[in-house]
Structure 1
């Protein structure tokens, strides 16, 4: 039997490998422990942004570290296998940590978390020293900086080194945005300011506008009580989201790529929580039966909420 339905609506497809068919060969190569096929997949990726996207995706495939470790030893001067291995260690570290706030993470989980991140950091330091323009490695060093509590200045230094070579790298911007939130020692002024800065600097149709929605969602979940609803219902916030969506995933120059599901999912969530279902409808339409859980997972039983909002949104048009 397939997944159960909610109100007659099938829950969304959340696995990127299933939602984006062209990614399936990477999963097959990972399952087979086939380094040659994995390397060939990455060699065909035209942009550094998509390399980082695929690297993070590969990191979530179970038991891949053994063949990545072999590849890193076999090709000690190639930055790709070491970066992919570091991404896997980072994934294992954050999974060990869990989603609890900093003070609530048990000490043993915190130790595992830091051990994995330190292993990743050692690999990435080597890669960045040998290949200072290798953007995927600098991107991976942003979550290690955050997890190892290296501070705002160090995180920004790493991002600036990356931006010298790729000024509109969406995954790197999204990672730095997390660092700039208060939960990691930043401020809402810094987080919103960075999101707007990236959006204003990026070409029309880029993904940078999605950062505006990410910042508003993070701000919203940091609130309590009635303030949660009031925040995203605010007309100024709604207009900010509309402008960001029009500059990014709804712009005529936007070219849907591997990040499109995350982009539309983020806007769909922000508009839905704010009660702006007409605005959310365009993003649900673009998503179809797919969704990214990256920000929706902040909601309890998020798949049910997603299908409820998706069903309600078109009725407002």
Structure 2
């Protein structure tokens, strides 16, 4: 890749940048369950399947289509998992990303209602198909949203990890639970991120949990009006060393799959952490790989909170200086 690639407007939707995911989205819009099922059957990597699941769940017309597919075959674990994820997305949209203190009781009731509907689908899938990764990963999400506690969320993650020990999306969900905003501690969050990064195969995206944990702590400090402390923590020698080691073992490792869906999110996490710490040279290698491929998370944590503006601004700076 050129050191100075021709860049355009950032592309945030996976289905807008990956032909297979573009086709999957089209299958949903055409209500073609056979094609959706075949698209998932072609994906053997569970991290890829988790991203594809998200693409389906993000489609506004997905719920009635998936309900029809479920009515045709109530035993299909995939359709139940996809419908559950769509219900989770609807529920989380009602809740919004605001802190709990800013969410009304009525919104919480609606949010929990959707998550309970998802749970009813997922419980049966997990009982009937205990190795089915999508269902256990989604149950880690519902446990957090339903506030079932760290113990239950960890139990569900452990069941996922029995058969899929490096499931990146599942680890992302447990990491959120381990942060103080969901009842955890920074020590637990950073420890888990480090452990996942070190245990994963070389080239896997799991190392990106390290910058995500760092950015969560950065955001909390900013929310407490301590912007200087937030950046200082990111630039602490031990934090920087952990970030560098995680990147070298994961997305910057020669074994990293350039076509892996999750790697876009992972590179964005590393680039955002370096950018938040005012280290454009550190962010540059990730931006060179990314080009126009962006992700909403975690760019909304930086500066103005406008993910598109923050990505574009920091990319320009990094490629000019790094």
Q: TM-score scaled to structure 2, two decimals?
A: 0.93
Computed over aligned residues only, the root mean square deviation of the Cα atoms, in angstroms, reads: 1.4
Shift of 1:33: 1.5
1:278 to 276, 281, 285: 281
Local SS of the residue matching 2:205: coil
Local SS of the residue matching 2:184: coil
In the alignment of these two chains, the number of paired residues is: 310
Local SS of the residue matching 1:57: helix
2:84 to 83, 86, 93: 86
Matched, 1:262 2:265: yes
Contact 2:47-2:261 within 8 A present in 1 as well: no
1:238 to 229, 237, 240: 240
Shift of 1:207: 1.1
Write the distance in 2 (CA, Å) between the matches of 1:255 and 1:9.
22
Tell me the residue number matched to 2:43: 45
Shift of 1:278: 0.7
Write the distance in 1 (CA, Å) between the matches of 2:131 and 2:313.
45
Deviation larger for 226-235 or 254-263: 226-235
Matched, 1:294 2:297: yes
Matched, 1:228 2:230: yes
Tell me the residue number matched to 2:55: 57
Contact 2:198-2:246 within 8 A present in 1 as well: no
Contact 2:47-2:262 within 8 A present in 1 as well: no
Write the distance in 2 (CA, Å) between the matches of 1:11 and 1:52.
26
Tell me the residue number matched to 1:143: 141
Contact 1:10-1:307 within 8 A present in 2 as well: no
Write the distance in 1 (CA, Å) between the matches of 2:122 and 2:307.
35
Task: List, as ranges, runs of 4+ consecutive aligned residues in structure 1 with deviation greater than 6 Å.
Answer: none
Q: 1:33-182 alignment to 2 at 5 Å? A: 33-182=31-180
Tell me the residue number matched to 2:313: 308
Structure 1: which 5+ runs fail to align?
1-7
Local SS of the residue matching 1:103: helix
Q: 1:172-251 alignment to 2 at 5 Å? A: 172-223=170-221, 224=224, 225=226, 226-251=228-253
Write the distance in 1 (CA, Å) between the matches of 2:237 and 2:278.
11
Q: Deviations over 1:68-108 (max 9, x none)?
A: 01111211111111111001000101011001111211122
Write the distance in 2 (CA, Å) between the matches of 1:213 and 1:305.
17
Contact 1:204-1:254 within 8 A present in 2 as well: yes
Structure 2: which 5+ runs fail to align?
1-5
Local SS of the residue matching 1:264: helix
Contact 1:30-1:38 within 8 A present in 2 as well: yes
Tell me the residue number matched to 1:4: none
Tell me the residue number matched to 1:3: none
